[in-house]
Amino acid sequence: MERCPKIVVVEDDDQLCKFMKRIFEHLLIDCSVKRSCEEAKKYCVANRVEFLLVDLNVEHFHDGLQLFEQMAEIHPEITRILYTGEDPDDQIQHAIDSGVVHHFIRKPLHVKDLVEAINVRRQA
């Protein structure tokens, strides 16, 4: 039996965590929510993860980018999806252009944006 793909979501908003867990369960993706970038890094290193979805401002501004840079080196096969309510600044744009960020989503999050980000990488 084929196992479900796994996504790690780094988010500190309880309502948003519940919303995303429901979406990913509906898509048959195993969803693990972490409250910090450090927790997410430890989990990704210890488990097989296909997707990493991170709120840019979950702890301190741009901690999500630092996590993505580390994951790009340690596990480049993990699809890295960044979301934030901010407009992309130069640092975010550079991360996108260099491939550290595979997909960028602007808040508010919409189901179609999450599904598109997952499906684009599944078909790649």
Q: Which CATH number characterizes residue 33's domain?
A: 3.40.50.2300
Helix (H) or strand (E) holding 42: helix 37-46
Per the structure, the complete domain to which residue 76 belongs is given by 6-123
Residue 57: the pLDDT is: 80
Residue 85: per-residue pLDDT: 87
Does residue 24 lie within any of the structural domains? yes
Tokens linked to 104: 């960028």
Residue 105 neighbours by CB under 8 Å, 6+ apart: 81, 82, 83, 113, 114, 117
Amino acid identity at 22: R
| Number of domains comprising the chain | 1
pLDDT, tens only, 3-42: 789 999 999 899 999 999 999 999 889 999 999 999 999 9
Query: Is residue 81, in this structure, part of any structural domain at all?
Result: yes
Q: Is the pLDDT of residue 51 over 90?
A: yes
- On whether residue 89 sits in a domain, the answer given is yes
pLDDT over 60 (residue 61): no
Is residue 1, in this structure, part of any structural domain at all?
A: no
54 domain-assigned: yes
Predicted local distance difference test score (pLDDT) of residue 4: 86
